């Protein structure tokens, strides 16, 4: 067993700051003022207390100055001296429930806010409390020059293969991933020397072998936790530890941690395991209405941004960068993990709906400015598409605006009566909470009350105790998908409502849309090798598309699915009334948060839920699968007619077209989710940039498997 003196110790005093959670934002903001006051006082009075990390999110700077404007000068002075570590993110998001472009804008805005306060963002990808991490996060971080990733939640049995330090890869990029040992509070709430000594001995006893096996000598001790104040006595405690152990204990920043990557094992894929810590992915289905609102907002904002860029290309019109940056900021403020996850008190989520409504007003203005008021439809995706508009099928080229020209002679490709036989609505009791589903009985299939025709659509009415469902199945002529809308009237509590789309043509794996990727998950995951802190669950997450063999499920803001030999189950509602139940739940033995009642989490009332089906999944590349999802989610906008100002080709996925961060030129971002290289074609010159747009990038127009490409568009 290694000794304490075999290591040296980087002690990072910090606070993890949830802007809103079991209290609304306004109350946490006042507490933040008091906590940062204490930090400023301590750093100014004690030069040996060399630095403090007020979490990995730059929004803390804005929030503090909002409540203590008179202290902005003191804050800026300590930032300039390097004694406060801030960023690199704007907020600490749930990385899985928001789109890939939102993760990029989060880092872009975090950098901008840090620089506005006169400091560079932290060089560490410090994401301590996110409930798992998507497979492409290493490429996103590396694209901002970030080479180290510190995390707490997400490790599963891969820890046996890669340990607590490893090279986490995505495409050709990687970061050194560092599992906190074992959490971001491993050195919090110290009482004095004896407690600190016991804490260090316990970490070395349980995890020292893992650190040595990775060839590392430094252990990070995180002196802080949720909303905790600074501990002014920390330097004196550390001097006592040095006398006791004969080892070095120094106060520092997370970006001073510099593990040696030489010889570290590699890992590719998501980090969504719960072997060491709860990962709490039951949040995928908590307060579904928030996920729907966010999907609508992200899709609309990206569409308007693209339309503005297309107008700049064709008319040399100024790009409304400030207006759209404000919109992105307002959207990102709904992305903290306790917010978008739906696991906060009811006041928080009422506030979120107001913020989404306010964002819509901003986008109403931005849309009028970007598109004009003409009578044309505008396609903001780069490929030719059809939409049903006011009962007529309209087709447009990519990146174009045109007058409605209804297509005649198209026939529906599906028999809606046959499709109806594939659907089974089922409900099951849920004794869990906003973090975790916990079954409390068997699922009950819904009773079919009525079936009727309405034109080309079939309407089904189902009933369950306290739940009524009206589902419209529409086969639209000329489209490859079948569109469904389920209107649910929910008056029941503590249950989960799902629809099973049956399929007898199984597959060994399921493909699911993720951030800048399509991930493959086994239909039957291997059982845990050891007992996990939180047992794995059969449900998983998607940004919008899931394919099981030929069956494809497309969704709008419905991120939770379960794949099995029966087919695909889609969660429509999960209704529970507590932030967190106490320890001892079958599906989560360890508690997750405060036991606060959240009656609005029961989601009573009317819900409109949209999803679609295709049956050609076997013929769709990963890129084509994501394009099908984009096509379904993205409506035509209304504006002036115009010819396409650029044409994009290649079997890859469009992500954004926006003004460059420098303010000069436009940036195009695409990604290649396929397992083979793909070549981008564009009828304009392109210059390759790093993801953060601050450096040139290697490579031309060919994108390697899994690669994200960012390009400056020339004239």
Strands 376-379 and 637-639, sheet pairing: antiparallel
Helix 288-315 with 100-116: angle, nearest 10 deg: 70
Cβ neighbourhood burial of 484 (10 Å; 0-12, 13-18, 19+): buried
Say which of 129, 174, 338, 631 is annotated catalytic: 129
Q: What is the DSSP letter of 618?
A: G
Tokens 């009578």, residue?
Answer: 375
Catalytic status, residue 129: yes
| Residue 466 tokens, joined | 């306290």
Q: Which residues of 578-590 are buried (b: 16+ CB within 10 A; e: fewer)?
A: bbbbeeebebbee
- Strands lying side by side in the sheet with 148-151: 124-127, 148-151, 173-179, 165-170, 266-268
d(CA 635, CA 299): 9
Asked if 39 and 83 touch (Cβ cutoff 8 Å), the reply is no
d(CA 169, CA 174): 4
Candidates 454, 457, 447, 456; CA nearest to 426 is 447
Candidates 706, 711, 703, 708; CA nearest to 687 is 711
Cβ neighbourhood burial of 454 (10 Å; 0-12, 13-18, 19+): exposed
Angle at 232 between CA 231 and CA 237, to 5 degrees: 85
- Residue 422, CB-side half-sphere exposure with 13 Å CA sphere: 24
Asked if 633 and 653 touch (Cβ cutoff 8 Å), the reply is no
Asked if 379 and 629 touch (Cβ cutoff 8 Å), the reply is no
d(CA 374, CA 310): 16
d(CA 535, CA 525): 12
d(CA 600, CA 612): 28
Residues serving a catalytic function are 129
């Amino acid at each position: 067993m290694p000794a304490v003196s075999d290591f040296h110790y980087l002690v990072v005093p910090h606070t993890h700051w949830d802007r809103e959670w079991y209290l609304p934002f306004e109350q946490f903001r006042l507490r933040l003022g008091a906590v940062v006051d204490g930090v400023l006082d301590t750093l100014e009075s004690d030069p040996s207390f060399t630095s403090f990390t007020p979490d990995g999110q730059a929004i803390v700077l804005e929030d503090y100055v909002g409540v203590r404007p008179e202290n902005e000068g003191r804050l800026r002075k300590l930032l300039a001296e390097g004694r406060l570590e801030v960023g690199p993110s704007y907020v600490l998001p749930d990385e899985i429930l928001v789109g890939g472009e939102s993760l990029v804008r989060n880092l872009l805005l975090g950098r901008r806010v840090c620089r506005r306060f006169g400091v560079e963002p932290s060089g560490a990808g410090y994401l301590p409390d996110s409930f798992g991490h998507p497979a492409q996060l290493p490429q996103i971080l590396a694209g901002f020059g970030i080479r180290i990733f510190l995390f707490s939640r997400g490790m599963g049995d891969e820890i046996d293969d890669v340990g607590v330090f490893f090279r986490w890869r995505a495409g050709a990029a990687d970061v050194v991933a560092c599992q906190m040992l074992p959490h971001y509070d491993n050195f919090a709430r110290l009482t004095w020397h004896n407690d600190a000594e016991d804490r260090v001995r316990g970490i070395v006893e349980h995890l020292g072998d893992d650190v040595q096996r990775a060839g590392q000598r430094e252990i990070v001790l995180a002196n802080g936790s949720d909303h905790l104040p600074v501990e002014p006595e920390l330097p004196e405690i550390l001097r006592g530890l040095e006398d006791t152990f004969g080892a070095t204990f120094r106060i520092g920043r997370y970006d001073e941690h510099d593990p040696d990557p030489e010889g570290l094992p590699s890992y590719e894929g998501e980090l969504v395991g719960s072997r060491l810590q709860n990962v709490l992915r039951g949040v995928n289905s908590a307060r579904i209405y928030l996920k729907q609102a966010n999907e609508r907002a992200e899709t609309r904002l990206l569409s308007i941004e693209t339309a503005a860029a297309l107008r700049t290309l064709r008319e040399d019109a100024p790009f409304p960068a400030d207006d759209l940056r404000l919109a992105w900021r307002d959207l990102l403020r709904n992305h903290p993990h306790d917010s978008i996850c739906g696991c906060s008190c009811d006041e928080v989520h009422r506030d979120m709906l107001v913020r989404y409504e306010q964002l819509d007003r901003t986008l109403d203005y931005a849309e009028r400015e970007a598109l004009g008021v003409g009578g044309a439809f505008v396609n903001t995706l780069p490929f030719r598409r059809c939409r049903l508009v006011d009962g007529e099928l309209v087709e447009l080229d990519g990146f174009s605006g045109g007058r409605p020209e209804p297509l005649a002679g198209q026939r529906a490709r599906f028999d809606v009566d046959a499709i109806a036989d594939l659907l089974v609505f089922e409900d099951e009791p849920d004794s869990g909470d906003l973090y975790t589903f916990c079954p409390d009985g068997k699922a009950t299939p819904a009773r079919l009350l009525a079936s009727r025709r309405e034109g080309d659509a079939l309407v089904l009415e189902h009933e369950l105790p306290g739940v009524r469902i009206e589902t419209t199945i529409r086969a639209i002529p000329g489209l490859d998908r079948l569109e469904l809308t389920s209107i649910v009237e929910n008056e029941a509590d503590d249950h989960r409502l799902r629809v099973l789309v049956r399929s007898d043509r199984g597959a060994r794996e399921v493909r699911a849309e993720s951030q800048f990727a399509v991930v493959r998950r086994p239909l039957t995951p291997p059982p845990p090798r050891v007992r996990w802190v939180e047992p794995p669950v059969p449900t998983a997450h998607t940004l919008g598309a899931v394919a099981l063999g030929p069956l494809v499920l497309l969704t709008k803001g419905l991120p939770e699915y379960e794949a099995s030999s029966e087919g695909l189950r889609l969660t429509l509602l999960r209704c529970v009334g507590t932030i967190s139940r106490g320890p001892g739940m079958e599906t989560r033995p360890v508690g997750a948060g405060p036991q606060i009642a959240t009656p609005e989490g029961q989601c009573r009332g009317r819900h409109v839920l949209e999803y679609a089906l295709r049956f050609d999944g076997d013929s769709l590349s990963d890129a084509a699968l994501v394009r099908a999802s984009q096509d379904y989610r993205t409506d035509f906008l209304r504006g002036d007619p115009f010819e396409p100002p650029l044409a994009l080709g290649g079997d890859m996925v469009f992500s954004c077209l926006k003004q460059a961060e420098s303010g000069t030129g436009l940036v195009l971002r695409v990604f290649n989710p396929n397992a083979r290289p793909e070549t981008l074609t564009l009828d304009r010159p392109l210059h390759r940039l790093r993801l953060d747009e601050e450096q040139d990038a290697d490579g031309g127009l060919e994108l390697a498997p899994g690669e994200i490409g960012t390009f400056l568009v020339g004239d």
